[in-house]
Amino acid sequence: MGRPAAALVDTVAPCHPLPQAAPRPVPAGMLQDLRERFGKRCSTAAAVREQHGRDESPFDVAPPEAVVFCESTDDVAWVVALAARHGTPVIPYGAGSSLEGHLLAVQGGVSLDVSRMNRILDVHPEDLTVTVQPGVLRNQLNREVKDLGLFFPIDPGADASIGGMAATRASGTNAVRYGTMRENVLALEVVTASGDVIRTGTRARKSSAGYDLTRLFVGSEGTLGVITAVTLKLHPLPESVAAAICFFPDVGAAVRTTIQLIQVGVPIARCELLDDNAVRAVNHHDKLGLREQPMLLMEFHGSPGSVQEQAATVQEIAREHGGADFAWATTPEERTRLWTARHHAFFSALQMRPGSRGVTTDTCVPISRLAEMVTAAKDEAVAAGLPHFIVGHVGDGNFHIAYMIDPDDPAERERAETLNDGVVRRALQVQGTCSGEHGIGLHKMGFLVEETGDGAVELMRQIKRSLDPGNIMNPGKIFVL
Ligand SMILES: Cc1cc2nc3c(=O)[nH]c(=O)nc-3n(C[C@H](O)[C@H](O)[C@H](O)COP(=O)(O)OP(=O)(O)OC[C@H]3O[C@@H](n4cnc5c(N)ncnc54)[C@H](O)[C@@H]3O)c2cc1C
């Protein structure tokens, strides 16, 4: 499907440079050493390599030469030390749900799959902390801590791994209330690019001890080291939870409602926008029967009294902006049904155009500018006649417009990228960011320079060179070295 990543270089808009470095073959001796240590846990089967050389982005597969399934920190350190000796690329792999070309082996090398490192190592309910291996999935973690009356709020829709979420600085639907991975990771164990094992941070809630290496690795997209353990903050399950939906005449009205909610300080837990196309897709996929109009899907957490108070304020503000048919999802089953449908939105929409793939924007802007951003993106997509849908974590100022393109049609791909450029440029003009939560990967590399300037990207390069002098850790991502 589509074209190989390398073939895109001369056709995509200049904002999406792709690394052009030559592949770095895995030496036969290294492959032999991997096979000797890992046996069947080292695979060169085409299907396994292909599965590890792609993500949910529209790029075609760029498979690694081998995939190694690690089961311990020792395994990871051994592979990385071997790769460092041979100057071979290593690409950490969690659950493969990233959206920006993060996992493509653009220079070849070995995919280091940590999904079997999936044990909860240490729970401290009295301190609200937990330490997990990187392959633990977010739903698995929530199942394990639920009986303790606790939960881990970061929810990127997909059932991603905690290591991958830390590596992409993920957020999702609960971030407006509980923060992102940046706020919820306390400490890490990391295998550095030389194969050494280091620890960053502690279980203490705060620290002024030296450089904040935890925050350096959170969001580093596998380019600085492999995360082998993560200590997280947990949160008490709220006493009362209520979800509600409300429909609006257009996306602007829904977003203006959200802006006002945030400005008056309603501590809303989730506030998600779905445009008419997204509602149509989830209706089709999950048989929901919702009005096919822009809507907000909201959730309130707190004591029963505070939940009622929040909801009353929201209803009043929504009415001022033309919001109608405010309805509660009162039972846990109904709530789960609505949120599951929201999480299906991406794949439900792709199914509306069989064979399509999604080119997704991820801008995040200061909240006061969000309505104009969403409205402009919607108007342009409609004018361009490109199938699309919008979902957004609008309480954070973050929204995604996904263009559903025929990957075999270069003109369509280019139109989507041109629209994507426009969305990002407008966000940068109002001091927003090209990526609120997905990361840079391959797709947003050019935008990073525009957003931060050459000086900041050069400093990132210096950090990369100093921590990974052989450029073995997920090379060719975030910036061209
Ligand atoms: C339908 C859908 C909805 C989504 N919604 C959201 C959303 O709302 N919010 C959001 O933030 N994201 C969202 N995403 C994107 C994705 O789920 C996140 O980026 C997630 O954090 C990726 O985790 P993963 O385990 O799948 O990582 P992978 O895709 O396996 O890897 C992602 C990156 O992290 C690196 N990495 C993985 N594990 C490690 C490790 N142990 N050590 C070092 N580096 C590592 C990889 O090398 C790669 O660069 C969505 C994706 C889909 C498909």
Burial classification of residue 50, based on how many CB atoms lie within 10 Å of its CB (0-12 exposed, 13-18 middle, 19 or more buried): middle
Ligand 1 site-directed mutation target among 55, 168, 214, 479, most atoms within 8 Å of CB: 168
- Given a cut of 60, whether residue 479 has pLDDT beyond it is yes
- Given a cut of 90, whether residue 14 has pLDDT beyond it is no
Write down the pLDDT at residue 22: 83
Write down the pLDDT at residue 331: 85
Number of H helices and E strands in the chain, helices first, is 16, 18
* DSSP for residue 41: G
Rounded Cα–Cα distance for residues 390 and 373 (Å): 12
Ligand 1 near 162 CB (within 6 A): no
For the CA of 56, the closest atom of ligand 1 is 53
Ligand 1 near 437 CB (within 6 A): yes
For the CA of 227, the closest atom of ligand 1 is 42
Q: Give the distance (Å) from ligand 1 centre to CA of residue 447.
A: 19
Exposure letters 232-264 (e unless 16+ CB within 10 A, then b) = bbbbeebeebbbbbbbbebbbbbbbbbbbbbee
- Given a cut of 60, whether residue 264 has pLDDT beyond it is yes
SS3 153: coil
Beta pairing class for 185-192 and 225-233:
antiparallel
Edge-to-edge, what's the strand order for the sheet holding 110-113? Answer: 42-43, 66-69, 110-113, 90-93
pLDDT band at 13 (very low <50, low <70, confident <90, very high): very low
Comparing CA positions, the residue from 271, 255, 210, 220 lying closest to residue 374 is: 255
Mean pLDDT of the chain: 93
pLDDT band at 341 (very low <50, low <70, confident <90, very high): confident
pTM here? Answer: 0.95
Average pLDDT over residues 325-348: 89
Comparing CA positions, the residue from 277, 264, 457 lying closest to residue 385 is: 277
Write down the pLDDT at residue 330: 73
**H helices within 179-231, ranges in order?**
181-184, 213-217
Q: Give the distance (Å) from ligand 1 centre to CA of residue 68.
A: 19
Average pLDDT over residues 137-162: 97
SS3 104: coil
Residue nearest to atom 12 of ligand 1 (CA): 156
Q: Give the distance (Å) from ligand 1 centre to CA of residue 296.
A: 25
Range of weakest confidence among 23-32, 323-332, 355-364: 323-332
Write down the pLDDT at residue 56: 86
Beta pairing class for 66-69 and 42-43:
antiparallel
Whether 468 and 193 have beta carbons less than 8 Å apart is answered as: yes
Q: How many residues does the chain have?
A: 481
Write down the pLDDT at residue 20: 65
- Given a cut of 50, whether residue 6 has pLDDT beyond it is no
Write down the pLDDT at residue 116: 98
- Structure tokens belonging to residue 31: 């492959």
pLDDT band at 263 (very low <50, low <70, confident <90, very high): very high
Write out the DSSP string of 165-209. Answer: HHHHT---TTHHHH--HHHHEEEEEEEETTS-EEEEE-SSS---S
Whether 276 and 252 have beta carbons less than 8 Å apart is answered as: no
For the CA of 137, the closest atom of ligand 1 is 25
Burial classification of residue 331, based on how many CB atoms lie within 10 Å of its CB (0-12 exposed, 13-18 middle, 19 or more buried): exposed
- Given a cut of 80, whether residue 16 has pLDDT beyond it is no
Write down the pLDDT at residue 18: 54
Write down the pLDDT at residue 188: 98
